[in-house]
Chain A
Amino acid sequence: MKSGTPGYPSHMTTSDLRAARHDLPTTMDAIEECYRRGWTDGLPVVPPTDTKVVAMLDAVGLAPDHVLGEVAVRRRVITAERVAANAVMAGCRPEHFALVLAALDAFLEHDPNILHEVSAATNAPGWLLLVNGPVRRAIGLGCTDNLLSSADRANATIARAIRLVVMNVLESRPGVLDRGCMGSLVKAGVCFGEDEERTPWAPFHVRRGFAAAESTVTVASVQDPETLGNRYGQTAESLMESVADAMATHGLAVHFTFTGTEWFWIVGHWHAEMLARQGWTVPRMQEYVWERAWRTRAELKRLGMLRGDPEPGDDTARVLAAPRPDGIFIVKAGGDSGIYSTLFKVYIGMPATTVRVRGRG
């Protein structure tokens, strides 16, 4: 890959970097300087030293001034060097960098201004990065136990790198251009892999048209998730009714009637086992949940989710939580210690978009 990237220096050194530099006496001083300059998300960062930034760029063979995209609404250019500096700060290792770039590619290919929109939105969505393919194992990405917790370095730092890029390169800082009202846990970013080794269904990226041997990342803007605890139901129907019930409730948070709404049902191990044992395919599951996840227009008005007074017909008018069955994405992941699933609502902004991870299968 290195030899094929235009502008990539054959022997990159720290003198090839273009951004401003700041010299500090010690690493501890550098960590405090990052705080002082407002570069952090509240947690300490790894100081983005020149040698670490070069190592990050070296891993993907990109020249420092390689332009990844322009965000017109913020009048900012995103270069490889600046993303590398933020990835270092997030705690990424060089082998994580291809995934950070792929996730940014997904945003930039969809609409560069979306990076601003997601951070500016007052309901404070965050982003979900779902990883498929061989890269998961290659970088030790968590796919099972505690996959949504801060547990594995790859999961935590890859997602954090995107947040720091938005904060620092686009200067969308909380309280200024980041207008989250209550904030959210997902604003820090959520990155995890599918448990492809134990899924009863085809992996998510294969269902999206990629080869099993390819590595992909799927990016979407999401609201904080909900844990689904159907532990005693003995049938797939019981489980899916509980998922539909959660969707119809969770959807109340914002924009129940938004026509682009999608969902990620992260199916835990024992839920997946029962669904597969009872013969359920992905399309049938999507259909079953889709037609059961709704509220009446009257309820939405009564609960303040729709404007206006009750009108004749509102009591029987169904408003679907998912506009279409195939917008309920089914992904198998999580540990086998308990009987749970997790539900994410994709919020207005970035619809689920899957891209290939360059140089990774």
Chain B
Amino acid sequence: MTPTVCLIDPTGGAMAARAFVLAPRFADLRGKSLGLLDNSKSGSESILRTIAALLDDEFKWAEIVYVRKHSASLPPTPEVMETLRHRADVVITGVGD
């Protein structure tokens, strides 16, 4: 019999997937409330606000809701997510350094 070395796989361990439903998509963005999620990097706010201003010409946002994460590489706090959920119809986010 061939001697074998039995390796235990050190990778992975996925969490159980949580069921979630995507928010409904809008057919038209005109007059919607726009959320801006700043990832807390130093250039993020100016990039996001510039994008929002450029898009405003076309969509005439009802409101711009600006919120900021506490860390670029950590998820937003529940309070930040609640603000977006209650006040924004659509959200723009991204890395701005």
- Chain A positions within 8 Å of B, measured between CB atoms, are 14, 17, 19-27, 29-30, 33-34, 37, 39, 47-50, 53, 70, 72-73, 75-79, 81-82, 85-86, 89, 111, 113-114, 116-117, 120-122, 164, 168-169, 171, 307, 348
Which residues does chain B contribute within 8 Å of A73, judged by CB atoms? Answer: 73-75
Instruction: Given A25-B5, A116-B73, A117-B73, verify A89-B14 contact (CB < 8 Å).
Output: no
Contact partners of A77 in chain B: CB under 8 A: 13-15
Q: What residues of B have a CB within 8 angstroms of the CB of A72 in the complex?
A: 15, 75
Query: Are B11 and A49 interface neighbours, CB within 8 A?
Result: no
Closest 9 CB pairs of A and B: A85-B10, A20-B9, A117-B73, A30-B5, A22-B7, A77-B13, A23-B4, A168-B10, A120-B73
Asked whether A25 lies within 8 Å of B3 as measured between CB atoms, the reply is yes
- The listed residue (B2, B9, B15) touching A85 by CB distance below 8 A is B9
- Among residues of A, the one whose C-beta sits closest to the C-beta of B15 is A75
Q: Does B42 contact A (CB under 8 A)?
A: yes
* Cα A72 to Cα B76 with chains together (Å): 12
Chain B's interface: helix, strand, loop or mixed, by majority? loop
CB pair A111 B11 closer than 8 Å: no
A86 touches B10 (CB 8 A): yes
**CB neighbours of B12 from chain A (8 A):** 76, 82, 169, 171
- Assuming the contacts A75-B14, A77-B15, asked whether A21 and B7 have C-beta atoms less than 8 A apart, the reply is yes
B71 contacts the other chain (CB 8 A) = yes
Asked whether B6 is an interface residue with its Cβ less than 8 Å from the other chain, the reply is yes
Given the known A-B contacts A75-B14, A76-B14, are A22 and B9 also in contact in the complex, defined by CB atoms under 8 Å? Answer: yes
Q: Which of A26, A111, A169 contacts B10 (CB 8 A)?
A: A169
- In angstroms, Cα B15 to Cα A39, docked, is 20
From the candidates B2, B6, B11, B42, name the one contacting A39 in the complex (CB within 8 A).
Answer: B11
Count of chain B residues with Cβ under 8 Å from any Cβ of A?
20
Q: Which residues on B sit within 8 Å (CB–CB) of A20?
A: 8-9
A26 and B8 in contact (CB under 8 A), knowing A113-B74, A117-B73?
A: no
Partner of B5, one of A27, A76, A86, A121: A27
Residues of A within 8 A of B71 (CB): 117, 348
Interchain CB contact under 8 A, B8 and A49 = yes
By DSSP majority rule, is chain A's interface helix, strand, loop, or mixed?
mixed
With contacts A72-B75, A76-B15, A82-B13 taken as known, whether A34 is within 8 angstroms of B7 at the C-beta atoms is yes
Q: Mark B58-97, 1 if CB is under 8 A from A, else 0.
A: 0000000000000101110000000000000000000001
Query: In the complex, which residue of chain B has the Cβ closest to the Cβ of A120?
Result: B73
25 intermolecular pairs with C-beta atoms under 8 Å apart: A19-B9, A20-B8, A21-B9, A23-B5, A25-B5, A26-B3, A27-B5, A29-B5, A30-B7, A47-B5, A47-B7, A48-B7, A49-B8, A53-B8, A72-B75, A73-B73, A76-B13, A77-B15, A85-B8, A85-B9, A116-B73, A121-B73, A171-B11, A171-B12, A307-B42
Q: Give the chain B neighbours of A25 by CB distance below 8 A.
A: 2-5
Least distance between A221 CB and chain B CB atoms (Å): 12
Given contacts A17-B8, A116-B73, A117-B74, 11 further A-B contacts (CB under 8 A): A24-B5, A25-B5, A26-B5, A27-B5, A48-B7, A49-B5, A76-B14, A82-B11, A114-B74, A117-B73, A121-B73
Chain A residues, Cβ within 8 Å of B75: 72-73, 113
Task: Give the distance in Å from the alpha carbon of A25 to the alpha carbon of B1 in the complex.
Answer: 11
**Judging by beta carbons under 8 Å apart, are B6 and A50 in contact?**
yes
Within B1-41, the residues touching A (CB, 8 Å) are 2-15
Chain A CB count within 10 A is highest, among B2, B7, B9, for B7
Closest B residue, CB atoms, query A14: B6
